[in-house]
Amino acid sequence: MREQGTISIHTENIFPIIKKSLYSDHEVFLRELISNAVDAIQKLKMVSRAGEYSGEIGEPEIQIAIDKDRKTLSISDNGIGMTAEEVKKYINQVAFSSAEEFIHKYEGKDQQIIGHFGLGFYSSFMVAQKVEIDTLSYQAGAPAVHWSCDGSPEFILEDSSRSDRGTTITLHLMEDEQEYVEDARIKQLVKTYCDFLPVPIKLNGEVINQQKAPWRESANNLTKEDYLEFYRYLYPFQEEPLLWVHLNTDYPFILNGILYFPKLRPDVDVTQGQIKLFCNQVFVSDHCEEIIPRFLLPMRGVIDSTDIPLNVSRSALQTDRTVRKIADYISRKVGDRLKELYRDSREEYIKVWQDVGTFVKFGSLNDEKFKKQVEDIVIYRTTYETPVVAASSPATETPAVQVQAEEGDAWQDVQPAESTPDSGTGVQENAPTTSSYTTLKEYLERNKERHENRVYYCTDEVTQATYVELHKKQGLEVLFMDSFIDTHFISFLEREYSDVKSSRVDSDLDQTLLDKDKAGEIVDPTTNKTRSELIKELFEKALNKPKLNIRTEALKSDDPQGTPPAMVLLPEYLRRIQEMSAFVQQQTAQFPDDHILLVNTAHPLIQNLVSLSQGSIIQGEGQSPSAELANSICQHVYDLALMAQKGFNAEGMKSFVERSNQVLTRLTDRATSA
Ligand SMILES: Nc1ncnc2c1ncn2[C@@H]1O[C@H](COP(=O)(O)OP(=O)(O)OP(=O)(O)O)[C@@H](O)[C@H]1O
């Protein structure tokens, strides 16, 4: 048999277009040819199972052969093969008509297509000047055939001497596509695209693909170690994942996958997805931002679906109904998994909360359905201390659970913590502090008597330590809202729970923290002024800041020395306006001048100040040394209080250090002259 013919296409000639390449990634031709080979092997199994083929199937395999001298690359399979009629039909007609269709659809359009998927057999002409097919069908008596085409619409079909069932596609590579005769390049391509295909792919006799796709297994057949091993395989040299979710559904769409929660690092770009998209175990892309809900983008792993349209533009993908449904399904499954962990092991949940919480909060802010799903499992670190450690207790109405958890916010803590992850969910075992966690509901319930519907929170444990301590001492519970997302999350909570008000610990002091009785005592019989009034005057004069609001109060304490002599307060509304305008202007928030200086009249230092200044009045001197000292100390007390809030600029720092030295000199002068 020898037949010559013209491939029946309607366009004048599509080969130049294919060659010029519609796609920048020529390399996908290999993915297409290997996918066809896998299909041919699966089809043989199917006809055998259907009883239409009784011959030996043998060990399915795909062989890749490189001939550097002839500059050829061939892909062989022992699948179903093709008869001459099938070559004419499937190659000459089907393959090229789909090529034509594809080219028409995308010619001249600069569309970003997610997968360039299913380009099929004709994609081999992106890299080859001539393509040969040598094939023998499984059908009894069908002669082997040889097809060749040199890149013109002409083809030649003739007999072949092939005696083993299957197909070999040989590509005569173009001059500028010689990279595909390099073993390393082929290995890399197989690893990228075909690693998880269920048939061994051999290069020079060596199997170069992994074959097993764990996401296609049932979750019951996989151990923790299997999941971890797969993660390490996908993301080598990375920290262990915290938690994973196995996706597996057949209806209303087909979707399999494993998604992992990684430990969040400040250097990770959360807008860039790291999840790999597969279609029938063939790698498509590691950019599936259109499919994964935005708040889950930092997750890692694999999703595999034949229901995601791959040869459409990215924007079309975003509006595709099935894709939207898949995204919803993914967030629901992730929510379910978190709820399950919360219910079954609250202790484990708390351990991963620092990172997982960011996803949960971000998801609550962005996705109404997800918010509803997880609203009862949002937890907060609290100053509340439970008398007994209640590990793994059920979630209902339990007091805050104490666990060993890492300190700080992953996004602020750039230093990687030294850790030895365990084998389980990858939860970090190191534990610098003991912390308690609570839900908002539990918090409100617990504090109903003391401060109904009021939440005290702290955004920076270090700078707000004095304020937190003050609250703690008086039995007021404070929540730590110190991750980068919490500023938004607080406003969100206030919208969600409109009767709940929150105030940062340094915004004002609760009445219960103040000792009203002590402040009104008259200390100057000549003027009838109370200590409070005198102190206020003293500070007003010394600081000379008209915008500063000076308040004098006695802080309640058994040990006044242990309380701060003064505190800077910034009313909640003022701080929020400041933060908001800084956000809009993309600047860091300035500390407003009209803040409050609360001077603690109960503190011995402040009381000494009164005596010091009164001494100077009695002496009747305009600016006596003691009045000067009282003045300096007022400024110093203010600076110390301010320092806890915001830190100084260069000038502020300079005068603070200078004054510190002056005050210390005065003190040592007195000590030495005494
Ligand atoms: N290795 C092979 N063994 C047997 N038949 C093959 C082989 N390669 C291609 N074919 C036949 O040629 C047809 C066309 O292949 P082509 O790759 O162009 O499209 P496809 O595989 O049907 O679909 P897709 O566009 O998704 O790849 C196939 O459907 C199949 O019948």
Record the tokens describing residue 232, joined without a space. Answer: 């390490």
More confident residue, 209 or 483: 209
Classify residue 55 by its DSSP letter: S
Confidence check: pLDDT of 584 > 90: no
Domain ranges of the chain: 13-207, 214-365, 378-384+436-504, 523-570+593-616+623-673
36-40 — which CB contacts under 8 Å span 24+ positions? 36/120, 36/121, 36/169, 37/62, 37/75, 37/76, 37/77, 37/79, 37/167, 37/199, 38/62, 38/77, 38/79, 38/197, 38/198, 38/199, 39/79, 40/77, 40/79, 40/80, 40/81, 40/166, 40/167
Q: What is the mean pLDDT of residues 300-307?
A: 94
* Cβ contacts of 102 within 8 Å, gap of 6 or more: 22, 119, 311
The pairing of beta strand 274-279 with beta strand 300-304 = parallel
Residues in the chain: 674
- Chain center to CA of 493: 21
Q: What is the pLDDT at residue 389?
A: 45
Q: What is the pLDDT at residue 261?
A: 93
Task: Indicate the average pLDDT of the chain.
Answer: 84
Angstrom CA distances, 636 to 131, 546, 651, 660, 661, stand at 86, 18, 15, 8, 11
* Residue 75 contacts residue 37 (beta carbons within 8 Å): yes
* pLDDT tens-digit map of 436-488: 999 999 999 999 988 889 999 999 888 888 889 889 888 899 999 988 888 88
Range from 148-152, 362-366, 510-514 carrying the lowest mean pLDDT: 510-514
Output the CA 23–ligand 1 centroid distance in Å.
Answer: 20
Amino acid found at 175: E
How far apart CA 573 and CA 283 sit, in angstroms, is 52
Burial classification of residue 649, based on how many CB atoms lie within 10 Å of its CB (0-12 exposed, 13-18 middle, 19 or more buried): exposed
Output the CA 96–ligand 1 centroid distance in Å.
Answer: 11
Nearest atom (ligand 1) to Cα of 77: 1
Q: Binding residue per annotation — 167?
A: yes
* Residue 92 contacts residue 3 (beta carbons within 8 Å): no
* Residue 541 contacts residue 550 (beta carbons within 8 Å): no
* Residue 458 contacts residue 479 (beta carbons within 8 Å): yes
H or E stretch at 618: helix 604-619
How far apart CA 46 and CA 50 sit, in angstroms, is 6
Smallest CA separation from ligand 1 atom 10, residue: 36
Q: Per CATH, which fold does 523-570+593-616+623-673 belong to?
A: Four Helix Bundle (Hemerythrin (Met), subunit A) (1.20.120)
pLDDT band at 153, cuts 50/70/90?
confident
Choose which residue among 31, 39, 133 to substitute to test ligand 1 binding: the one with the highest number of ligand atoms within 8 A of its C-beta. 39
C-alpha distance across the termini of the chain, in Å? 123
- The closest alpha carbon to 327, from 362, 295, 371, belongs to 295
CATH class label, 13-207: alpha beta
Tell me yes or no: is domain 214-365 CATH 3.30.230.80. Answer: yes
Dihedral (Cα; 49, 59, 133, 158), 10-degree rounding: -70
* Cβ contacts of 605 within 8 Å, gap of 6 or more: 565, 633, 637
Amino acid found at 107: E
Output the CA 171–ligand 1 centroid distance in Å.
Answer: 16
Pick from 44-48, 512-516, 660-664 the range whose average pLDDT is largest: 44-48
Q: Binding residue per annotation — 82?
A: yes
Q: Binding residue per annotation — 36?
A: yes
Is 0.95 surpassed by the pTM of this model? Answer: no
Which residues form ligand 1's pocket by a CB distance below 6 Å? 32, 36-37, 40, 77, 79-80, 82, 90-91, 94-95, 98, 118, 120-121, 167
* pLDDT tens-digit map of 277-303: 999 999 988 888 889 998 999 899 999
To 10 degrees, what angle do helices 625-645 and 650-673 make? Answer: 140
Angstrom CA distances, 106 to 18, 103, 122, stand at 12, 5, 16
Choose which residue among 30, 31, 33, 36 to substitute to test ligand 1 binding: the one with the highest number of ligand atoms within 8 A of its C-beta. 36
Residue 74 bridge partners (DSSP)? 65, 170
What architecture is domain 378-384+436-504? 3-Layer(aba) Sandwich (3.40)
Q: What is the pLDDT at residue 622?
A: 58
Confidence check: pLDDT of 653 > 70: yes
Range from 185-194, 347-356, 547-556, 574-583 carrying the lowest mean pLDDT: 574-583
